[in-house]
Amino acid sequence: MIMYHQGKWKESADATVSIHDRGLVFGDGIYEVIRVYNGAPLQANEHMHRFFESAKGLSLPLPYNDIKDYLFIFQECLERNALTEGFLYVQLTRGEAPRSHVQPANPTPTFTVYTQPFTRPIHLHEEGIRTITHPDERWLRCHIKSLNLLPNTLARTKAEVAQAGEAILLRDNTVTEGSLSNVFMVIEGTLVTHPANTRILNGITRQTVLQLAETESLPISIRAASSDELFQASEVFITSTNMEIVPVNQIDQHVVGDGKPGPLTRRLQHSYEAYLGL
């Protein structure tokens, strides 16, 4: 695999970082995952706008200030790796510095882009998944797509051990999002999802699904739903860049609806596939 690392194209084995890199020592950095279909990155501009906002939130210097520079790198990365289906991973850390909790005054950021093959999880789209609930133990700036993912990985691993496909996170008895996804519920015929505030990451797929729902004149309520409402919902589904729209058939020991993907979920899946041109 050929990567873009610190301004140069390198084989992955030659792309190294210092043991003193703040991304390694403190998780001091940000990232984006951009889906690739038919050799083209999907919604790269939207992802990079969020990347810029995350960098701003952490006072993290950017390697380039023009989105066009990143798009050029992405396209060359895809071509060098002959990737037609998969994703681009984009990461920025504050770079190498002596270990200190105080951020360095003039850091040299570490910037990396690479590709990874990935195929659409169609079986999950068709069959749905089982999930668990888990306390939302993350920090209070979840709108920043930072490298600090330990609570997410702990929750997702607990789901894996339970033979579930995702962990739905609960904070103060409300549904926030999943360990790696956004959560939607259908409550009394209305599509409900958490507001895009500091308690969730405003997923790019989440935004697209809301736009599609609005286009189809579906009733939408952007609010924090309670855990009781989660278990009473007639339909539940999750969204993410890689997973797209995946129905939730079971939460803990509770079966959602009749245990099969619901009609509104199916409708949005079809709309999203049409949006992708698939």
Where in the chain are all domains bearing CATH 3.30.470.10? Answer: 2-117
Q: Which residues contact 139 (CB under 8 A, 6 or more apart)?
A: 148
Mean pLDDT of 224-231: 98
Report whether CATH 3.30.470.10 matches the domain 2-117. yes
- CA of residue 100 relative to chain centroid, distance: 30
Q: How far apart are CA 192 and CA 158, in angstroms?
A: 26
Helix (H, G, I), strand (E, B) or coil at 32: strand
Q: Note the pLDDT tens digit of each residue in 19-71.
A: 999 999 999 999 999 999 999 999 999 999 999 999 999 999 999 999 999 99
* Residue 108 predicted with pLDDT over 90: yes
- Strand pairing report for 174-178 and 182-187: unpaired
Where in the chain are all domains bearing CATH 3.20.10.10? Answer: 122-276
Mean pLDDT of 200-208: 98
Concerning whether 158 is annotated as a catalytic residue, the answer is no
* Residue 251 predicted with pLDDT over 90: yes
> Is 188 exposed, middle or buried, given 0-12, 13-18 or 19+ CB atoms closer than 10 A?
exposed
**Half-sphere exposure at residue 166, Cβ-oriented, CA atoms within 13 angstroms:** 26
* Residue 278 predicted with pLDDT over 90: no
Q: Centre a 10 Å sphere on the Cβ of residue 214 and count the other Cβ atoms it contains.
A: 11
* Residue 141 predicted with pLDDT over 90: yes
Q: How far apart are CA 207 and CA 211, in angstroms?
A: 6
Q: Which superfamily, per CATH, for 122-276? A: D-amino Acid Aminotransferase, subunit A, domain 2 (3.20.10.10)
- What would the two tokens of residue 246 be? 């995946």
Give the active site residue among 8, 10, 145, 158.
Answer: 145
Torsion on CA atoms 193, 194, 197, 203, rounded to nearest 10: -50
User: Mean pLDDT over all residues of the chain?
Assistant: 97
DSSP per residue, 56-103: HHTTPPPS-S-HHHHHHHHHHHHHHTT-SSEEEEEEEE--B--S-SSP
Q: Which residues contact 105 (CB under 8 A, 6 or more apart)?
A: none
Q: What percent of the chain has pLDDT over 70?
A: 100
Band the pLDDT of 196: cuts 50, 70, 90: very high
* Residue 115 predicted with pLDDT over 90: yes
